[in-house]
Chains A and B, each alone.
Chain A
């Protein structure tokens, strides 16, 4: 096996994965009046997720991108006879998503600090559980383990929608659950088929196992349906507008910021990298669906009357860009897609928080109820402008780097793919600027707006870090790219579809960090 490699911190990954569970236990053990328990739950959740984030940053610093293969690896026999084991570890790609989950969780906890008022204890528990499952699924190196964590994310996520959501929460939650669960069944089938064929579920082993062509196609189809629901791919998005809109804001953030990335991550890991031949065959279909998602969702976003729905459709539109990037099957496109996933996770989270800053104060999300909010909330207006610009891919923000690399990748495939995928630049600008204008610009007409006060300290504590990271990703993307770029080029190399890969696989990146 691979465990001859030096391993810097043998238990660091496990600590990051399961510390939130310890937080859950601590919260459950708290006794006292409701007030005490709630305060304690909040603080325990915040501290736990804060420490997890700090540990994740340490992993990021310790990670050596030039070393091929997995790091922070952990393997424990589980059902060894059946070829199933507890196997976790990180490569450059998964590390980035662990970092994203660990970054957004504490922000979501702060974001729900005052906005969640009922059953605070349960809410914090759900949030911590979600963090464990997310980190678990991103670091899983065994397909069964991945499947278990993937399914496990559903429980806290749909509970959060169903209990703390808006008026139509139950239907939204049910839809979300059934869609994802239905999709996962296809993954389960694919999993069983793979296990049946190879006798193992170890992802690293499976990646080197050459499946037959027909087999690859069937397996990939299963994974595309499973992850296409989560991403979502057009037309599997029926659950999305309701779920994103009805969920409480911190849950929307986790759903669109991290959970949808789990779908994209799965598509990359199990689609593009594991079944390269089938991926090439399926690429035209997925690329087309991606282009349709980009344009279709961007157009619908313009017609919305609910602020949160605009953001929800915007998220859908940008996931189309990610799907395009992944299935260009070029290193630039995949690098761009991963970068876009990270930056989109940050930006969409920030936009949901911005919307909630206004809607929480006024208890409405109707765009027509607002005008001239910028007069009352100048700090919010400034930050929101930054995030709006980031969402439409202005250079200097992270989204641009991702979208540009995706465009380069897409142009390798076809001019029209790059062009039509790139229309998100225009259409995105239309709906985002129109939203910004309707809500924040304009004369102060009184009404609900008259009572607004600018951002509180808690809100700033959420939005300012997001703003800093957004700019950081745009100005110095090397901090992130250097981590996963070698992994992408390394994993893509066997495919040898693009000649430009070779020199950069040989020459490790230097000086980027």
Chain B
């Protein structure tokens, strides 16, 4: 165990050292050395993580707590820096470090043409990885929140990496702020857990749960305490995992360099929300209303994102919406209690989504930073290796046997069906429709990019296969996307799952929905695959056989097309409903209330004392500022009275 704990610490902290060395001394040691340093530390981390995984799988997955240092001890509150080593964290750490290492290597080639030094980029990548590792290895919610926010910071820095582009800066701020909105709910949830359950450490929380099942909490009336907590945590998870209403940041996040998108979408960021829900599964289990909400949001998001993905012209944006949609699947699994299936899909998705993004990066690299699919076409002859990789990734994404996605997606849909309640069936229905749409937009991408005649001769002529440093990760990930499902199925959800998870995930062995997957009716189990094959066929008809159809459809159903193209108008809605009023109110408060009234009082007093009292009467002339201010005073009185007589 000593060795495993040590390796585990290496896996978590090596990226931090890489970040610090490259970040602080990068300008001194130069790009080459900085790149080498981060990759060397990431390699250490990945090897150590795989080592731990091997150890743990050999000797049975026991939970070990590795203490690191003291953190916050104040009054009754206690949270320490600790690493928790159990099946859940060890498996995710291995996945994150491996994918991150591949992204690091890929970035060497991808960022080779940058005119400015890129040590900053590599150090941010390592920081991103470290934050994610802290998140998954935490033993208490506060440390998880540290990683959670660290991931937010790193994503902000990486999305805004090209900081002289206004769109990149805007996307970075959007990602950070939208996440922060969700984080507020999360943090209140953590505080509530501490106040009512007495601790923020997982084991203490789970031990305290049975005693608090019937507790209530006053909010908009009386609610079961655990439902309130679970909902607050879920809202937090919705932000990080880009679920409906809080999803707007994710598609914009592709303003960052493509390797960043691969990291965000596959390994380090969006999966955090799923991880949180699975980590807190003993609590989520006890909150049935919240679980229904999770299925509702998850199912709806998967459908919504897939419809938007159908019409996007940008290659990365299409894949970005696909992530949003796949995360919806994972939430459906959480909601129906199939946490193992959720983790399974999270892992397989990490491989094929990283593959798709890196493949898309190769395409973009090949055609010199063009991202519009309608300007590509026929590229398969020029970049055959990338073409094959994209096929593999798409087959895995669409869930075609025997690729990785088949195993995990089917498990989720079967679990949704077998959960047996109405909400589960809703999740199943949405999932099957989405399976069709997923295949449709994936092959739309493939056909538009690689088949047909080149739409832009100039781009086509210049296209070339990427350097080995980029192709190597793509090839390795392709391998993963083929075999991950088949290899991991017995461990994650199959015969050996109880021994593998060994209590890291809630559920009574033999009674949870995951044990009933085998009993799914054969017809139900086949629907998703049929839907996917149908999607591929439709894509073939629309984009290869008779390419006129999509254009005609878009013309005849123009409102629907625009609705989808504009992403259901969420951004516009938020702009009108929140951003503009906020700006206007900010200005009004400043010019009206603060300068108009509050700062006018001393000036008025000054005038009053100097004898010209008439001037002070100006305050009472009934301007908007005065009204705004009296409203504010009214608010004080109102809130005070409320708090007084609660």
Instruction: For residue B450, give the distance in angstroms from its CB to the closest CB of chain A.
Output: 35
Instruction: For residue A375, give the distance in angstroms from its CB to the closest CB of chain B.
Output: 8
Measured between beta carbons, the chain B residues less than 8 angstroms from A330 are 75
- By the criterion of a CB under 8 Å from any partner CB, how many residues of chain A are at the interface? 83
Inter-subunit contact B73/A485 (CB<8 Å): yes
Whether A459 sits at the interface, judged by CB under 8 Å, is no
Measured between beta carbons, the chain B residues less than 8 angstroms from A289 are 636
- Could you say which of A285, A303, A426 contacts B587, with CB atoms under 8 Å apart? A303
Inter-subunit contact B142/A404 (CB<8 Å): yes
Whether A401 sits at the interface, judged by CB under 8 Å, is yes
- Which candidate, A27-35, A150-158, A388-396, is the interface stretch facing chain B? A388-396
Subset of 21 A-B contacts with CB under 8 Å: A296-B589, A296-B593, A300-B586, A332-B76, A372-B163, A395-B145, A395-B146, A401-B74, A405-B77, A408-B195, A411-B191, A418-B188, A422-B187, A433-B156, A437-B169, A437-B173, A476-B69, A481-B74, A482-B73, A485-B74, A503-B76
Inter-subunit contact B173/A395 (CB<8 Å): no
13 further contact pairs, Cβ within 8 A, besides A242-B599, A288-B643 = A238-B598, A288-B636, A288-B640, A331-B75, A335-B74, A395-B142, A401-B72, A405-B77, A407-B191, A433-B173, A477-B74, A489-B75, A501-B75
Whether A469 sits at the interface, judged by CB under 8 Å, is no
Interface majority SS (helix, strand, loop, mixed), chain A: helix
Chain B, residues 625-646, CB within 8 Å of chain A (1/0): the string is 0000000100110011001101
Chain B, residues 365-386, CB within 8 Å of chain A (1/0): the string is 0000000000000000000000
Chain A, residues 373-403, CB within 8 Å of chain B (1/0): the string is 0110010000001000100101110001100
Once A429-B180, A441-B160, A482-B73 are accepted as A-B contacts, the answer to whether A412 and B173 lie under 8 Å apart by CB is no
Whether A241 sits at the interface, judged by CB under 8 Å, is yes
Chain B, residues 143-168, CB within 8 Å of chain A (1/0): the string is 00110111001001100100110100
- Nearest CB in chain A to that of B145: its residue: A395
Measured between beta carbons, the chain A residues less than 8 angstroms from B183 are 425
Once A407-B188, A422-B187 are accepted as A-B contacts, the answer to whether A429 and B74 lie under 8 Å apart by CB is no
- Could you say which of A178, A396, A478 contacts B73, with CB atoms under 8 Å apart? A478
- Nearest CB in chain A to that of B587: its residue: A303
Measuring CB to CB, which residues of chain B are less than 8 angstroms from any residue of chain A? 27, 69-77, 142, 145-146, 148-150, 153, 156-157, 160, 163-164, 166, 169, 172-173, 176-177, 180-181, 183-184, 187-188, 191-192, 194-195, 217-219, 582-583, 585-587, 589-591, 593-594, 598-599, 601-602, 632, 635-636, 639-640, 643-644, 646
Instruction: For residue A290, give the distance in angstroms from its CB to the closest CB of chain B.
Output: 11
Inter-subunit contact A443/B589 (CB<8 Å): no
How far apart are the CA atoms of A238 and B69 in the complex, in Å? 44
Inter-subunit contact B585/A299 (CB<8 Å): yes
Instruction: For residue B596, give the distance in angstroms from its CB to the closest CB of chain A.
Output: 11
- Nearest CB in chain A to that of B600: its residue: A238
Whether A468 sits at the interface, judged by CB under 8 Å, is no
Measured between beta carbons, the chain A residues less than 8 angstroms from B73 are 478, 481-482, 485, 509, 512
How far apart are the CA atoms of A378 and B116 in the complex, in Å? 12
Considering residues A237, A241, A429, which has the most beta carbons from chain B within 10 angstroms of its beta carbon? A429
How far apart are the CA atoms of A404 and B193 in the complex, in Å? 13
Instruction: For residue A455, give the distance in angstroms from its CB to the closest CB of chain B.
Output: 13
Instruction: For residue A380, give the distance in angstroms from its CB to the closest CB of chain B.
Output: 14
Measured between beta carbons, the chain A residues less than 8 angstroms from B593 are 296
How far apart are the CA atoms of A287 and B192 in the complex, in Å? 19
Measured between beta carbons, the chain A residues less than 8 angstroms from B74 are 331-332, 335-336, 339, 401, 405, 477, 481, 485
Interface majority SS (helix, strand, loop, mixed), chain B: helix
Measured between beta carbons, the chain B residues less than 8 angstroms from A489 are 75
How far apart are the CA atoms of A437 and B163 in the complex, in Å? 8
- Could you say which of A179, A237, A239, A425 contacts B187, with CB atoms under 8 Å apart? A425
Inter-subunit contact A422/B184 (CB<8 Å): yes
Inter-subunit contact A419/B184 (CB<8 Å): yes
Measured between beta carbons, the chain A residues less than 8 angstroms from B601 are 238
Inter-subunit contact B187/A300 (CB<8 Å): no
Once A299-B582, A437-B173 are accepted as A-B contacts, the answer to whether A408 and B194 lie under 8 Å apart by CB is yes
- Nearest CB in chain A to that of B80: its residue: A478
Whether A24 sits at the interface, judged by CB under 8 Å, is no
Inter-subunit contact B71/A478 (CB<8 Å): yes
Considering residues B74, B169, B195, B632, which has the most beta carbons from chain A within 10 angstroms of its beta carbon? B74
Measured between beta carbons, the chain A residues less than 8 angstroms from B646 are 414
Whether A235 sits at the interface, judged by CB under 8 Å, is yes
How far apart are the CA atoms of A447 and B444 in the complex, in Å? 48
Considering residues B69, B585, B639, which has the most beta carbons from chain A within 10 angstroms of its beta carbon? B639
Whether A423 sits at the interface, judged by CB under 8 Å, is yes
Measured between beta carbons, the chain B residues less than 8 angstroms from A501 are 75-76
How far apart are the CA atoms of A489 and B73 in the complex, in Å? 12
Inter-subunit contact A504/B75 (CB<8 Å): yes
How far apart are the CA atoms of A175 and B585 in the complex, in Å? 27
- Could you say which of A288, A412, A434 contacts B195, with CB atoms under 8 Å apart? A412
Inter-subunit contact B169/A504 (CB<8 Å): no
Once A238-B601, A396-B150 are accepted as A-B contacts, the answer to whether A291 and B169 lie under 8 Å apart by CB is no
Inter-subunit contact B177/A291 (CB<8 Å): no
Nearest first, the 10 closest Cβ-Cβ pairs linking A and B are A331-B75, A284-B643, A395-B146, A500-B76, A303-B586, A441-B163, A335-B74, A443-B164, A299-B586, A288-B639
Whether A488 sits at the interface, judged by CB under 8 Å, is yes
Considering residues A178, A179, A425, which has the most beta carbons from chain B within 10 angstroms of its beta carbon? A425
How far apart are the CA atoms of A389 and B180 in the complex, in Å? 12
